C-alpha cells in the first residue's frame, strides 16, 4: 500500500477465460514463476517472450487474457510487499516500457507520479531488489 489504502482486488472468482479456477491458478503460477525467475537476475522480458514461455495455455502477447494475468499477478505481489512484478514486461519495439495496463494498475494501487518513466524505473528497482538472489 503506497498511500495507506487497501488496494482493490481484481480477478476474484473464476476468470472468464478459463473453464475452472484450478486452470487459471495453474496459469498464474506458471507465469509468476517465469516472471520471478527473470526478476531474480534483474532482467526484463517482452510480452511476446512471456507468452511464448507459458506452456499451460497459448496466450496472445497482445490479448486481454495475458493483460488480466499480469494484473492479477502484480496485484498479488503488491499485496505481498514485493511490488508490481509486471513492471519487468515491456514492449519489444518502440518505447521498451511496460504497456498502459501497468500504469493503470500503478494508479489503482495509489502510486502517484507525474513522470511515468521515473515511476516505472523506481518500481523496476523495487521488484529487482525484492527478488534478487
How do the pLDDT tens digits run along the chain, 133 residues long? 333 333 333 444 444 555 566 888 999 999 999 999 999 999 999 999 999 999 989 999 999 999 999 999 999 999 999 999 999 999 999 899 999 999 999 999 999 878 999 999 999 999 999 999 7
Spatial distance between the Cα atoms of 48 and 25, rounded to a whole number of angstroms: 21
Give the model's pLDDT for residue 112.
86
Q: What's the confidence (pLDDT) of residue 41?
A: 96
| Secondary element (H or E) of residue 46 | strand 45-46
Handedness of CA 22, 106, 60, 44 (dihedral sign): negative
Q: What is the pLDDT of residue 75?
A: 97
pLDDT of residue 1: 35
Q: What is the pLDDT of residue 18?
A: 53
User: Residue 70: which of 40, 114, 100 has the closest Cα?
Assistant: 100
Amino acid at each position: 500500500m503506497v498511500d495507506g489504502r487497501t488496494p482493490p482486488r481484481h480477478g476474484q472468482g473464476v476468470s472468464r477465460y478459463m473453464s475452472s479456477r484450478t486452470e487459471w491458478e495453474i496459469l498464474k503460477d506458471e507465469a509468476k514463476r517465469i516472471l520471478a525467475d527473470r526478476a531474480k537476475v534483474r532482467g526484463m522480458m517482452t510480452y511476446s517472450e512471456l507468452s511464448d514461455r507459458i506452456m499451460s495455455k497459448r496466450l496472445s502477447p497482445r490479448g486481454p487474457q495475458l493483460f488480466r494475468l499480469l494484473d492479477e499477478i502484480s496485484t498479488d505481489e503488491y499485496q505481498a510487499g514485493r511490488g508490481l512484478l509486471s513492471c519487468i514486461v515491456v514492449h519489444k519495439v518502440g518505447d521498451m516500457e511496460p504497456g498502459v495496463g501497468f500504469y493503470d494498475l500503478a494508479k489503482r494501487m495509489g502510486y502517484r507520479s507525474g513522470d511515468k518513466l521515473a515511476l516505472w524505473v523506481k518500481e523496476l528497482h523495487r521488484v529487482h531488489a525484492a527478488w534478487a538472489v
